[in-house]
Structures are given as C-alpha cells and as structure tokens.
Amino acid sequence: MRLVTWNCRIGGFRRKAKQVAPLLPDVLAVQEVEPIDRELRFDGACQPTYRDRIGDPAYPKRAIGVFSYTDMKLKPVDLPDPMYCFRRYKARHGALTFQVVAVWTVATKARETSYKQAHVGLRCHADWIRHRPTVILGDFNDNASYRGGNWQQLLDLVQPLGLVSAYHQYFSEPFGAETQPTYFHQGKGTVAFHLDYCFVPDIWTQHIKKVEVGTFNDWHTISDHAPLIVDIDPQVSDPA
C-alpha cells in the first residue's frame, strides 16, 4: 500500500498530475489544488480512480485534493461541515479498513491559529482517530528546528493517539535534523526544510517497507515541494 503527500504549489495540478500519477499511490494527498470540478481528465495517460476536493469558500482557489490511482476505496467523512485543512476519510484496502486525514496548515490572521489547523483537528477528532487505525499525512508547514513550540505541541497531541512519523521511524532521524528535505524555499535548492509528514499507527511500524522523498532535480520545475512516499506491507492487519 502506497501513501503519498505532495504540495503541487499554487495550483495547476491538472497539468502536473502526469508526474505524480506514475507513482500509483493508493492514497495521494495534494495541497494547493485548484478547482477541478470541471476537469474531466488530467494530463497524462494514468487517471485517478478516485478524486475529491472541497475548498474553503473564503479561499476557493487552493485546497486539499485527495486521490487514488488504484482500487483503494475512499469515502469522505466531513460532510456537510468539513474542516478544510484537516480532511477526514474512511478507507478500505482489501481486507484492511482504516482512516485517513489529509492536512494542509496555512497562515491565518489570528496568531493563535496560524499554521495550527492540525492541532485543532487532532483535538476535535481525537476520539475518531482512536476508533480505528488512522493515517495522517500532508504539508504541516512546520519543523522541530524552528523557534517556538508549535511542533512539540503537535507531537504532544499525536503521540497519545499512538501515531508515529513513518519517515523518522524508517530513517531513525530525530525531528528537526532530517537529512532529506521535502520543501525547497522559493523553488531553489539552497534553502530547504522537511515540512511534509506521514503519521501512521505505531502498530504499523514493523510493516513499513520503504520511505522515499523525491529529489529537487526531479520536482523543482513544477513545485517547491517534493513528494513523501511511504510504502506499507499490504498484509498489515486490522486489529478491529
């Protein structure tokens, strides 16, 4: 099972999809997706088997899109009152039933909520997350190396829910000292950070087969982010 998150940068996903589609993600969370309701096909031969995007009416031009390019079954949970930066789904992959949250934290005018939509979502939906194995992936726009306590506050919410970062578990790297960045500031390779994450249930860690981060050379022409790719053994069991 392949989980991918990628910020496509300022829309244009309908054209850029041809680069991410060959990864054949079972779950693909994409941030900054433009309105796609009228798009019958994206560029490229490979088309998604599932797609969903609901934008905040206050900021309609950019939103989270969730896609699949396999037989993964996805169903949105947040109807009719979604949290636009913390999108929840039910998922089924073969015999495995689990949950997915796609995240994109953004700046707001209210200082206390700036880049903290994931914090709000984790607090509001903690019981739902505990109910069944849950994957939370997306662009969190934060790193433990930054000043301030935002990232530690997020970990303080994530860890009691039994979730771990697949990247950090796989590479045995501490938060804030990542050797593979997912974001290249201003689309250049000189200043880079790790801002994109995929949290999985800690009971899945033994089933993480591979974690990859796209390279600057492969992705900088279409985005300032590279995708984070997490492969999970498809035989992972559902404890429920």
What CATH number belongs to 2-232? Answer: 3.60.10.10
This prediction has a pTM of 0.96
Is pLDDT of 190 > 70?
yes
When pLDDT is cut at 50, 70 and 90, the band that residue 108 belongs to is: confident
Segment 61-84 mean pLDDT = 95
Is pLDDT above 70 for 97?
A: yes
Task: Locate the domains of the chain by residue range.
Answer: 2-232
Q: Tell me the per-residue pLDDT of 115-145, one tens digit each, with 9 for 90 and over.
A: 999 999 999 999 999 999 999 999 999 999 9
Give the model's pLDDT for residue 80: 84
- pLDDT band for position 237 (50/70/90)? low
240: pLDDT strictly greater than 60: no
pLDDT of residue 86: 97
Kindly indicate the confidence band of residue 6, based on its pLDDT and cuts at 50, 70 and 90: very high
- SS3 sequence, the chain? CEEEEEECCCCCHHHHHHHHHHHCCCEEEEEEECCCCCCCCCCCCCCCCEEEECCCCCCCCCEEEEEECCCCEEEECCCCCCCCCEEEEEEEECCEEEEEEEEECCCCCCHHHCCCHHHHHHHHCHHHHHHCCEEEEEECCCCCCCCCCHHHHHHHHHHHHCEEEHHHHHHCCCCCCCCCCCEEHHHCCCCEECCEEEEEEHHHHHHEEEEEECCHHHHCCCCCECCEEEEECCCCCCCC
Confidence label for 25 from pLDDT (cuts 50, 70 and 90)? very high
